Amino acid sequence: MNKNEDPKLGEECGVFGMYDLDGEDVASSIYYGLFALQHRGQESCGIAVSETDGPLRNVSTVKGMGLVNEVFNADNLGKMKGDIGVGHVRYSTAGASIAENTQPLVLNYIKGTLALAHNGNLTNALALRQDLEEGGAIFQTTIDSEVIAYLIARERLKAGNVETAVKEAMKKIRGAYSLVIASPRKLIGVRDPYGFRPLCIGKRDNAYFLASESCALDTVGAEFVRDVEPGEIVAITSTGITSDKSLAAPNKGRCIFEYIYFARPDSYFDGTCVHTSRLTAGRILAQDHPVEADIVVGVPESGNPAAMGYAMESGIPYGTAFIKNSYVGRTFIKPKQSSRESSVMVKLNVLREVVQGKRVVMIDDSIVRGTTSARIVKMLKDAGAKEVHVRISSPPFLYPCYFGTDVPSRDQLIAADHSVEEICRMIGADSLGYLDIQRLSELIGGDEGYCRGCFSGNYPVDPPKEDIRGEYEK
């Protein structure tokens, strides 16, 4: 890896798995599932399928750098034969964005084959990797998912079945992981003991699904069965579903940022609709940070429902100020500061007609480095807005995330060493208000079982002693 590139190893991924008990091919449904999860990762993707009644170790895999519709086509999908399989979409920062790190990982070992797709970050992957390497293991990739796959394969040699092997591996790994695994004749879904990253189960006729988000189940016409619970291992076989929840932690640590920014608004996690939680955030902002204004606008996409909530609560009309180029992915895809700056303008344009001469309330989901807000405020003012009042539907970002959301290190977080007043000046706004951290739980119906470490510095699991991001580049 190139040391000169952004020295982070963030992972924001989507996983999808399917087992058709009637023996039909699953590749095309997995493709559509990944397509619905594309917002979770745009750098690489892959699908691995096999036949449950076919020869062991006969896995058909297609992986590549790029979007789902760039990597897959009718030809390569048509050749993928198999009734069980898993898929993955991946976003990482530049350093780790190489073809070898694409998933699913397919591992051949003495008991057969494991195809594994992982969303999340481990906090002890380096130490585990070192231990395994000292014991003779050879790794092909630099992602911690391979450590998980290796541990499961090794445990499987002693365990009676793959679920037990997964459970033994879970006792060794720490951090965030939602996994979908196709072992030759079982589809396994796993959520870490705190449930940092989401995972849910779906069903369509005689086929079962596992997906990062329920919107992917809708896309393939599957009905939502339930969420996989934190700490749960589900095994889907031809005889039904088994579940083991014995490794669940006493407290949950579901990522609140999934609701604020990351997930699609039409997804449901643990009974809460993401769209509704964004509306609630907007309502709270209107209660806590009211302002006299003529129009409320959202920064697409996740700012829009929050802006609607603000408008409903305040009575100020909701409007559309930004036109988004739908063919551009998320701004963070370009990891370098200079390219991120210009990509704001590539992605968004202002409807001059709507904002000219107006006092505008502009809602975005977060301020990380401050680049985006500064750009957008300037765009609104250049288009004739009289005042721009920025409201942010999350608390200030103060700490990095070690659990699968790409939040940069503290020295790059504008809120870490600037007051709200200073940030307001730096982004050129007339006023600035953040969501109060005390009210975060209202986004998920008052449930306190979530991780807000990026805002509070208190993580449900100890963060790694040293910042692991970038370690693999040494």
Task: Please name the residues in contact with 353: beta carbons below 8 A apart, sequence gap of 6 or more.
Answer: none
What is the residue-wise DSSP string for 239-270?
A: TEEEEE-TT--SS--EEHHIIIIIS-TT-EET
Nearer to ligand AMP, 52 or 371 (CB): 371
Is residue 383 a contact partner of residue 349, using CB atoms and an 8 Å limit? Answer: no
| Distance in Å, CB of 368 to ligand AMP, minimum | 3
Extract the tokens encoding 114: 């494991």
Site for ligand AMP in 345-374 (CB under 6 A): 364-373
Interaction of residue 258 with ligand AMP, rule CB under 6 A: no
Convert residues 33-72 into a mask of x (bound to ligand AMP by CB under 6 A) and - (unbound).
Answer: ----------------------------------------
Candidate residues 405, 415, 451, 470; the one interacting with ligand AMP per rule CB under 6 A: 405
Instruction: Render 170-210 in DSSP notation, one character per residue.
Output: HHH--B--EEEEEETTEEEEEE-TT--S--EEEEETTEEEE
Q: How far out from the chain centre does Cα 233 lie?
A: 20
- How many residues sit in the footprint of ligand AMP (CB under 6 A)? 19
| Residue 13 annotated as catalytic | yes
Residue 73, Cβ density class (10 Å: 0-12 exposed, 13-18 middle, ≥19 buried)? exposed
**Quick one: 188 or 367, whose CB is closer to ligand AMP?**
367
Q: How far is the CB of 468 from ligand AMP (least distance, A)?
A: 17
- How does DSSP assign 393-427, residue by residue? SS----S---SSS----GGG-GGGSS-HHHHHHHT
Distance CA 179, CA 99 (A): 20
Q: Which is closer to ligand AMP, CB of 92 or CB of 405?
A: 405
Is the CB of 367 or the CB of 380 nearer to ligand AMP?
Answer: 367
Residue 408 CB, nearest distance to ligand AMP (Å)?
8
Asked if residues 133 and 139 have their Cβ atoms less than 8 Å apart, the reply is: yes
If one asks whether residue 11 binds ligand AMP (CB under 6 A), the answer comes out as no
Give dist(CA 373, CA 332) in Å, integer.
Answer: 14
> What whole-number distance in Å separates Cα of residue 256 and Cα of residue 401?
12
Q: Supply the minimum distance, in Å, between the C-beta of residue 198 and ligand AMP.
A: 15
Q: Nearer to ligand AMP by C-beta: 286 or 390?
A: 390
Binding pattern for the stretch 118-157 against ligand AMP, x by CB under 6 A and - elsewhere: ----------------------------------------
- Residue 439 CA to residue 162 CA, distance in Å, equals 42
Determine, following the binding rule CB under 6 A, whether residue 455 of this chain makes contact with ligand AMP: no
C-beta of 128 vs 296, nearer to ligand AMP: 296
Q: Which window, 158-166, 214-222, 273-281, 402-410, contacts ligand AMP (CB under 6 A)?
A: 402-410
Contacts of 36 (CB under 8 A, 6+ apart): 213, 215, 216, 218, 219, 220, 264
Of 224 and 332, CB closest to ligand AMP = 332
Six-digit token pair at 348?
A: 């968004």
Contact mark string toward ligand AMP, 270..299, x via CB under 6 A: -----------------------------x
What does the binding site for ligand AMP look like in residue numbers (CB under 6 A)? 261, 299, 302, 330-332, 364-373, 405-407
Catalytic positions: 13
